[in-house]
């Protein structure tokens, strides 16, 4: 993929809305998942350590995840229930959002809004750190996922009603 491939992918996807584009692309990749190069089923967080390196750290009320992506890798986030800090420590990363693809050049940070689901593409090798709420101070990654994310828009809408 070249520097602008994520934008080309979005532009050529035959559906109109952002949510439908992300779902269409994700569903296609899930359909060819081989647990080697393409990993995941869209219904759970996976930490494919043979593709990406992770470091999980904890502080009072906070979960910090460091992830290293290699140049040319593509990833999907879950839908986040809460806003969170996103820090790009090294590299260049493209990220999808409602109004197009944004490129981040390290070092930088953004606050990702709740309800965000992204497709990210590593233009260069990247080191990414995200900071999430951890109100129970758990170190169980599955429990943290239940607190912070959902996997489909209907589930997110139900969460908002609570």
pLDDT digits (tens, 9 = 90+) for 84-128: 999 999 999 999 888 888 999 999 999 999 999 888 888 999 999
Note whether 3 and 15 are within 8 A (CB).
no
Range list of β-strands (E), the chain = 53-59, 62-69, 74-76, 79-80, 84-90, 92-97, 100-105, 108-112, 119-122, 126-133, 149-150
Tokens of 46: 């996976």
Gap between the Cα atoms of 10 and 16, Å rounded: 10
Within a 13 Å sphere around the CA of 149, how many CA atoms are in the beta-carbon half? 21
Gap between the Cα atoms of 133 and 119, Å rounded: 22
132 three-class SS: strand
- Report residue 46's pLDDT band, with 50, 70 and 90 as the boundaries: low
Residue with tokens 């491939």: 5
User: Which CATH number characterizes residue 39's domain?
Assistant: 2.60.120.10
Q: Please, which residues have CB within 8 angstroms of residue 8's CB and are 6 or more apart in sequence? A: none
Q: Does pLDDT of 3 surpass 60?
A: no
C-alpha pair distances (Å), 121 with each of 12, 39, 83, 134: 16, 15, 21, 27
- Looking at residue 62, the DSSP 8-state letter turns out to be E
Range of the domain at 116: 5-161
Average pLDDT taken over every residue of the chain: 86
The size of the chain, in residues, is 162
How many domains does the chain divide into? 1
Q: Which residue has the higher pLDDT, 25 or 45?
A: 25
Q: Does pLDDT of 66 surpass 80?
A: yes
Tokens of 42: 């869209």
């Amino acid at each position: 993929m070249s520097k602008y491939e994520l934008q080309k992918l979005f532009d050529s996807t035959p559906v109109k809305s952002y949510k439908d584009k992300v779902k269409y692309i994700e569903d296609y990749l899930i359909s060819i998942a081989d647990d080697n190069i393409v990993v995941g089923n869209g219904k759970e967080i996976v930490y494919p350590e043979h593709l990406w390196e992770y470091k999980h750290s904890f502080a009072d009320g906070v979960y910090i995840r460091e992830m290293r992506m290699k140049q040319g890798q593509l990833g999907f986030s879950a839908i986040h229930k809460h806003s969170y800090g996103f820090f790009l420590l090294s590299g260049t990363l493209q990220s999808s959002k409602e109004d197009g693809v944004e490129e981040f050049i390290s070092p930088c940070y953004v606050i990702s809004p709740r309800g965000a689901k992204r497709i990210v593409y590593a233009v260069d090798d990247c080191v990414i750190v995200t900071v999430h709420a951890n109100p129970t101070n758990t170190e169980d990654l599955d429990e943290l996922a239940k607190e912070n994310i959902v996997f489909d828009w209907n589930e997110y809408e139900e969460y908002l009603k609570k």
